[in-house]
Amino acid sequence: MYIIIGSNAQSEYASFQHALLFAQEYGILAAGMEDRPFIPITTVVLEGVPKDMRSVFRKWVPELSPTTHNPPASSLQRGRSLRVLPLNAALGAIRN
């Protein structure tokens, strides 16, 4: 399960916190309802989009990605990267 953080989400701390808590509860519920011995892996994506997620969509357009950062023309451009955190690390960061 992925939690995708969009480039315009800088001022939405409460929504981010609720999304993390929802994902944690949903993972626990899904494991219990399906009698699985483990909770599904949940990843928080801060920049970029994982390849396995892109492959699910037939006509993926990278420029329309919610995590696309459009810097001013005068700034230096960084290469494409993928920044991810495990859910427990993200929950630990918001608690501190």
Task: Order the strands of the 43-47 sheet from edge to edge.
Answer: 2-4, 43-47, 83-86
**CA neighbor of 90 nearest in space, from 45, 31, 51:** 45
User: Residue 87 is encoded by which pair of tokens?
Assistant: 């859910």
Residue type, 42: T
Answer yes or no: are the C-beta atoms of 37 and 53 closer than 8 Å. no
Q: Enter the tokens of residue 25.
A: 């509860």
Confidence (pLDDT) at 74 = 47
Per-residue pLDDT of the chain (96 residues; tens, 9 = 90+): 888 877 666 666 778 888 889 999 998 898 888 777 888 888 888 777 788 887 888 887 877 776 655 555 444 455 556 778 889 898 888 887
How do beta strands 83-86 and 43-47 pair?
A: antiparallel
* Model pLDDT, residue 62: 73
